């Protein structure tokens, strides 16, 4: 998206926010700190301005524990408390309608719909779209929106925005010019960046360690995948996870993707309700030896019914472990 289109999107977004009587912000299913941080930052600002606001996500029923200390969680409501007809509906960090899960039907009951997102695969499903695949996080786009809107950034708002920035950049591994400047502006409000990172990224219950042991035992390397780029993958089976939190399950890909011999990493996470269904996380390398880097996993995931970013994407697969690995190898080509 060109800068000009995005600026037009921001102006339209501000006009819609100013005009709204009430705002409903929807985060994606299996929420992460970028979607929740974006939703709560919007809620804090709207509430302060006297606009009725609620934030929700379709599933799971509870907010992941690591995000419960984010400011503004009082604005979260259960999915079934989101009315069928709303005034302004904003989807944050959602590339497609499907990412809204069971709340997708609220789009048709909204007077105005707005999409704020940074996924390359975004389908621009809002009547107003603020979408920039170059942004490192959706909270970065929320910050740009707040600048155009003239919002002053309180520590609570900064905390929410920083949460999305630090997690979506992998603790500032995947950065671009301007990333650290944005971090500096947020930190200058007095927030405790180290504590926010520790809570969101570096705290797991002890049960994570034996779970990792079982899961990593399933890891396999396919050096010949995609003409020698290499694939490494592992399975997170329900029997191996016990009752660990989503945070522990989502952390597995960050261990698997460090494999030097593979340019693509995949983690197959078994559904809790349908045994032959897997949620698949894909990662590729932005840098490194040429033979192991540069695979566009958003393209691969989109071909398999999912979506995402160039170096981080995902999809859902049905079948036996052999089936789903075979389908991925075929898609990788």
- For Mn ion, the binding residues (CB under 5 A) are 34, 93, 138, 168
Q: Between 140 and 270, whose beta carbon lies closer to Mn ion?
A: 140
Minimum CB–partner distance for residue 285 and Mn ion (Å): 19
Tell which residue, 166, 169, 291, has the closest CA to residue 224.
291
| Residue 150 structure tokens | 């003239």
Strand partners for 178: none
Give the residue with the Cβ less far from Mn ion, 163 or 328. 163
- CB 220 within 8 Å of CB 233: yes
Shortest approach of Mn ion to residue 141 CB, angstroms? 9
Closest contact distance (angstroms) between CB of 118 and Mn ion is: 6
Tell me the HSE value of 257 on the side-chain side, using a 13 A CA sphere. Answer: 23
Q: How far apart are CA 112 and CA 127, in angstroms?
A: 7
Supply the minimum distance, in Å, between the C-beta of residue 31 and Mn ion. Answer: 10
Question: Of 203, 187, 176, 148, whose CA–CA distance to 286 is shortest?
Answer: 176
Nearest-CB residue for Mn ion? 34
In 3D space, the residue among 326, 296, 294, 293 whose CA is nearest the CA of residue 309 turns out to be 296
What residues does 262 pair with on adjacent strands? none
CB of 138 to Mn ion, least distance (A): 5
Supply the DSSP string of 166-231, one letter for each residue: HHHTTTTTS--TTHHHHHHHHHTTT--HHHHHHHHHS---TTHHHHHHHHHTT-EEETTHHHHT-E
CB of 34 to Mn ion, least distance (A): 3
> Quick one: 55 or 212, whose CB is closer to Mn ion?
55
Toward Mn ion, which CB reaches closer, 168 or 248? Answer: 168
């Amino acid at each position: 998206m060109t800068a000009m289109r995005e600026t037009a999107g921001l102006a339209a977004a501000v006009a819609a926010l100013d005009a709204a009587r009430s705002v409903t912000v929807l985060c994606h299913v299996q929420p992460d700190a970028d979607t929740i941080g974006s939703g709560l930052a919007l809620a804090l600002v709207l509430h302060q301005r006297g606009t009725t606001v609620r934030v929700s996500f379709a599933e799971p029923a509870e907010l992941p524990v690591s995000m419960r200390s984010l400011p503004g969680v009082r604005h979260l409501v259960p999915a079934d408390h989101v009315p069928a007809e709303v005034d302004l509906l904003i989807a944050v960090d959602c590339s497609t309608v499907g990412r809204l899960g069971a709340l997708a039907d609220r789009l048709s009951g909204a007077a105005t719909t707005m999409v704020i997102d940074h996924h390359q695969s975004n389908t621009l499903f809002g009547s107003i779209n603020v979408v920039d695949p170059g942004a490192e996080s959706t909270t970065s786009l929320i910050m740009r929106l707040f600048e155009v809107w003239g919002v002053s950034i309180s520590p609570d708002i900064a905390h929410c925005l920083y949460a999305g920035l630090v997690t979506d950049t992998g603790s500032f591994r995947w950065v671009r010019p301007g990333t650290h400047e944005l971090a500096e502006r947020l930190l200058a409000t007095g927030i405790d960046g180290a504590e926010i990172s520790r809570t969101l990224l570096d705290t797991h219950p002890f049960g994570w360690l034996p779970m990792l042991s079982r899961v990593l035992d399933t890891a396999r390397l396919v050096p010949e995948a995609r003409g020698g780029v290499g694939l490494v993958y592992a399975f997170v089976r329900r029997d191996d996870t016990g009752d660990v939190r989503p945070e522990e399950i989502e952390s597995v890909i960050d261990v698997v993707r460090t494999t030097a011999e593979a340019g693509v990493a995949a983690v197959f996470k078994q559904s809790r309700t349908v045994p032959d269904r897997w949620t698949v996380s894909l990662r590729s390398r932005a840098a490194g030896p040429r033979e192991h880097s540069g695979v566009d996993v958003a393209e691969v995931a989109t071909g398999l019914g999912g979506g995402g970013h160039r170096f981080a994407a995902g999809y859902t697969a049905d079948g036996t472990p052999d089936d789903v690995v075979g389908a991925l190898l075929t898609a990788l080509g």
